[in-house]
Structure 1
Amino acid sequence: MKTRLCLILPMLLLGLVACSGAEAPPSAQAPATAAAETPAAVADDAATAAPTGADAADGSGATTDAAAAAADAAAEAAAAPAPQPPSGPRPVAGVDYVEIANGQPFQPATGKIEVAEVFGYTCPHCAQFDPLLNAWKKRQPADVQVTLVPAAFGGYWTPYARAFYTAEALGVLERSHEAMFAAIHLQRSLPVSAKVGAEELAPFYAQYGVDAKRLADTFNSFGVDAKLNRARQFASRSRIEGTPSLVVAGKYAITVDQHGFEKMLNTAEWLIAQERGGTP
């Protein structure tokens, strides 16, 4: 993939540029990220147990589970913020975002308006954007789905994209995601290299109870290969060449370039409202 050069600017400068596949390793002045996310809740094994007693006899256990799931979904929707009209000037196609010909969401079956962030753990701008995106995500209504898609541009991008899906498969992504940014850009405890593998990542993931063999088996698994290929195809189909980038509903690509993070999110809000049918 032919990509733009990444210009790494100090945090105090107002202009921001996207990181690209040709980016050099992050500098020692890479921006800090927010505190680590709250650990993900551990699933209750009893929830997946087979129904017993009357439920086992008449099969009502499945019905009860479905009703409980529906009730949870309804409660989540009720607790979510109500849709709000977008603020700021209306974005301009070809300037603030690019329309994607024949585009489609990364997860088209969710039934929600997807906002997919194509990001890279090795990108310092993604490290800076991550806490802003997390805060923005919490303000979104129930019909908006924010999805992370790791960029696999090749070189040192790919092993860390593989690490993302490895952590997801092992159930430690919620706890390790922001910490990965910190390990690369602040603590400098993880190398930025195309040769990074499970062995180099083992000490980092050991903090989350993942043993080295399990990490290596998952890191090199067919399942992770398939997810990595799907992410690569999505970025290519969406014409994404740099990070961080947002893809709304699979139809519109928003890159940071000179617009800045807040402008990206404002543009996303306008496009979400447009997909919802709330703007003319």
Structure 2
Amino acid sequence: MLKNWIKTVVLAASLLSASSAFAFTEGKDFKALSKPMPVAVAGKQEVIEFFWYGCPHCYAVEPHVEAWAAKLPKDVNFRRVHVMWDGRNDMEGHAKIFLALQALGLDGKHQQAVMKAIQTDRIELRNEAKLLEWVKSQGIDVAKFKAVYNGFSTNAQLKNLAAMTRDYQIDGVPTFIVNGKWVTSPAMVGAEDATITKMLDELIAKGRKAPAAKKK
């Protein structure tokens, strides 16, 4: 009698665990890119986050992404790309902030801080004077930041961001690309929480079974 009861409890626990597991569907929660893209680092799994500092959906999901990124294994290369849509000149100032912080190795550290300044504190960071005041408040070397922000290289890289946005066919943010093969987003999985990082983990596991394309 006791053995049968134990078996029943174990079976029920197993069924509960299975029902609470995340199950993602291709075509709904993620889909294959129409044109596969090469990864930046051969031999590594790759996740690219396309985002915009001014996007409230990016801001909502970013804490979950940062927590996930902090625990990634060494075989995963995670990188962010600030989106640049053609005809959207209002994005250029934000993209330049990203490129300047990236050049100084500070983009990851200040990712959420920039979004908070723009979306919560309502600081117009596309105004250079206000931007530099904010940069100073963050303890960033203002002279170094300004030099990079207005540098020729940063302006040239804006074209690279626009090209990547077109090449990956990004029409909304945040959007995640895994191994240059699959695309997913909070909109696709239906939640702006850790569900998206579980989706990314599943695609990474899928990628380990099918190696990513090598960089050309």
**TM-score interval w.r.t. the shorter chain?**
0.7 to 0.9
Distance 1:115 1:171 in 2: 19
Residue among 98, 111, 117 paired with 1:183: 117
Say whether residues 1:250 and 2:180 are aligned partners: yes
Distance 1:143 1:116 in 2: 14
**Contact 1:113 / 1:144 at 8 angstroms: preserved in 2?**
yes
Say whether residues 1:204 and 2:134 are aligned partners: yes
Number of residue pairs aligned between Structure 1 and Structure 2: 185
- Cα offsets for 1:23-62 (capped at 9, x unmatched): xxxxxxxxxxxxxxxxxxxxxxxxxxxxxxxxxxxxxxxx
**Contact 2:41 / 2:77 at 8 angstroms: preserved in 1?**
no
Computed over aligned residues only, the root mean square deviation of the Cα atoms, in angstroms, reads: 2.2
Distance 1:169 1:123 in 2: 22
Residue among 234, 250, 253 paired with 2:164: 234
Distance 1:264 1:226 in 2: 32
Change (3 A) 1:231 1:125: same
Which gives a bigger RCO, structure 1 or 2 (Cα 8 Å, sep 6+)?
2
**Contact 1:113 / 1:272 at 8 angstroms: preserved in 2?**
yes
Residue identity opposite 1:131 in structure 2? P
Higher helix residue share:
2
- Cα offsets for 1:154-191 (capped at 9, x unmatched): 23222111101111223433443221111112222x22
- Stretches of structure 2 lacking an aligned partner (at least 5 in a row): 1-20, 211-216
Residue among 192, 200, 207 paired with 1:275: 207
SS at match of 1:173: coil
SS at match of 2:187: coil
Segments ≥4 residues shifted beyond 4 Å:
none
Which moved further from structure 2: 91-100 or 170-179?
170-179
SS at match of 2:110: helix
- Cα offsets for 1:88-114 (capped at 9, x unmatched): 21x332211221133225x52353111
Say whether residues 1:158 and 2:71 are aligned partners: no
Residue among 31, 37, 41 paired with 1:98: 31
TM-score, normalised to structure 2, is: 0.76
SS at match of 1:115: strand
Q: How far 1:249 sits from its partner (Å)?
A: 0.7
Q: Equivalent pairs: percent with the same residue? A: 24
